[in-house]
Structure 1
Amino acid sequence: MKIYTKTGDDGNTGLQGDFRIAKSHPRILAYGTVDEANATIGVVLSNTLDDDVRVVLNTIQNELFLLGSDLSNQNLNDLKNRISLDMVEKLEKIIDKFELELPPITNFILPGGNVAAAQIHQVRTIVRRAETLVVQLSDKDEINSNCIKYLNRLSDLMFVMGRLINKRNGIEDIIWKP
């Protein structure tokens, strides 16, 4: 099978259920940004990481693929929601576990530190943009509302994970100084 189909040469793309929409449609922008976050996590995974962080990131990559699938399904009569509240709650438990290793936040923290932590902060910003685009999509089309909750929690996890990676590498939080 060839990777190119030429069916998108007119500026449209296919969705689940044989729907075709413009590549500039909010649905495409939303799940394209989810894909961007996923690809950037792939960059993070090219670093040396602790096993627990690596396992979490691998799981998230798979879950982001499911989230993109939820967003690409426009046939509401056939909506197979894959992102669940249970998945959101699992992210919360990971956040709680990682935060046990971190000092409380008393200041705004700037992104940075080592390369992996800086890249995780980049993922966080991409996830925030994806969340915004998914919210915009939800204003126009019905979607699995758990996608918004998942992305909101995921950006929180990326913030905590950036701090955790730095701490484990002996790098203190970079404090914002106005």
Structure 2
Amino acid sequence: MVVLSKIYTRTGDAGTTALGDGSRVPKTDARVEAYGTVDEANATIGMARLHASGEMDDRLAMIQNDMFDLGADLCRPNMAADAQAEYPPLRMTAAQVDRLEAEIDAMNTALEPLRSFVLPGGSALAAHLHLCRTVSRRAERRCVELAGGEDVNADAVKYLNRLSDWFFVASRIANDDGRADVLWVPGANRT
């Protein structure tokens, strides 16, 4: 269990932060940028939940919890050292990716195929889910960038890739199962 009795520590005043293995890196480190963007995406999910209810809210709550798992995974470098860790490090799993895929498939059955690109908007929930989608895509780019030079759990990257797809399909569900989607009209304003 996590116990936080003191919120500020002053240990980051010089511009460094501790990773999950206790090592210190600059706050501008690619790993910090990756899990920081995951945290930012999680905050956008919290905003979306203000407009969600029922099953959609339940699924978003599960995703928020997954996002903390993902942040814990990303903040711990050197997966090869996991076996020697004092406690088993929390890593994203294929099962979490599979759950997102199953939910996407289930939501997609209610939707007609798209005939145009969808503009972010429609209902308040759909607009917030589009914001979740774009911030999740940025988090994925940060993770892919990190993986270019450091050890990153492949399931973490896969999760983020599926997550942005999940948000897209969920935004269509939030727009009356796609009937209220705002569609792009190419060149509509060129006159």
| TM norm structure 1 | 0.95
Give the letter for the 1:51 counterpart.
Answer: G
**Retained in 2: the 8 A contact 1:37–1:126?**
yes
Residue ranges of structure 2 left out of the alignment (5+ in a row): 84-88, 187-191
The runs of 4+ residues in structure 1 deviating greater than 4 Å are none
What is the aligned partner in structure 2 of residue 175 from structure 1? Answer: 183
Give the letter for the 1:69 counterpart.
Answer: A
Hey, what's the Cα distance between the residues in 2 that align with 1:147 and 1:29? 15
**Retained in 2: the 8 A contact 1:33–1:130?**
yes
Hey, what's the Cα distance between the residues in 2 that align with 1:18 and 1:131? 24
Give the letter for the 1:143 counterpart.
Answer: V
Cα shift readout 1:101-140 (whole Å, capped 9, x = no counterpart) = 1111121111100111101000000000000000000011
What is the aligned partner in structure 1 of residue 95 from structure 2? Answer: 86
Deviation at 1:75, TM superposition (A): 3.7
After the TM superposition, which residues 20-169 of structure 1 pair with which residues of structure 2 at under 5 Å, given as runs?
A: 20-47=24-51, 49-76=52-79, 77-78=81-82, 80-167=89-176
Instruction: Pick the structure with more helix per residue.
Output: 1
Percentage of identical aligned residues: 44
Residue ranges of structure 1 left out of the alignment (5+ in a row): none
Deviation at 1:171, TM superposition (A): 5.3
Deviation at 1:30, TM superposition (A): 0.5
The SS at the match of 2:12 is coil
Q: Which has the larger radius of gyration?
A: 2
Give the root-mean-square deviation of aligned CA atoms: 1.4
Deviation at 1:141, TM superposition (A): 0.5
| TM norm structure 2 | 0.88
**Retained in 2: the 8 A contact 1:35–1:68?**
yes
**Retained in 1: the 8 A contact 2:78–2:151?**
no
